[in-house]
Amino acid sequence: MANSPQSKKRARQNVTRFAINKARRSRIRTQLRKVEEAIASGNKDAAQAALRAAQPELMRGVTKGVIHKNTAARKVSRLASRIKVLG
């Protein structure tokens, strides 16, 4: 349990930051799921549109420190290559 005023404030900040990061992660996962569903349906145009919508969300997660830069780049790259294969 936090005792000093500084540690009490830090505990409050951690709760707030956890909620914000959780919401960001959830938004990112939702966007990725939409891309996956578009790929699964075989609709190349819808998949490209979904990826274009997901990319800024992923990069925002990177700048906010929710996910690592290489993780975001890897996800975008793999999704883009899967979309490229679609006929």
Q: Is the pLDDT score of 87 beyond 80? A: no
**Which whole number is the average pLDDT over 53-76?**
97
Question: What range defines the domain where residue 47 resides?
Answer: 5-85
DSSP 86: -
Residue 78 host element (H or E): helix 69-85
State the Cα–Cα distance between residues 46 and 11, nearest whole angstrom. 43
State the Cα–Cα distance between residues 50 and 80, nearest whole angstrom. 11
What one-letter code names the amino acid at 62?
V
Question: pLDDT tens for residues 21-43?
Answer: 999 999 999 999 999 999 999 99
User: How many domains would you assign to the chain?
Assistant: 1
CATH number, domain of 39, equals 1.20.58.110
State the Cα–Cα distance between residues 66 and 82, nearest whole angstrom. 25
Please tell me the predicted confidence (pLDDT) of residue 55.
Answer: 97
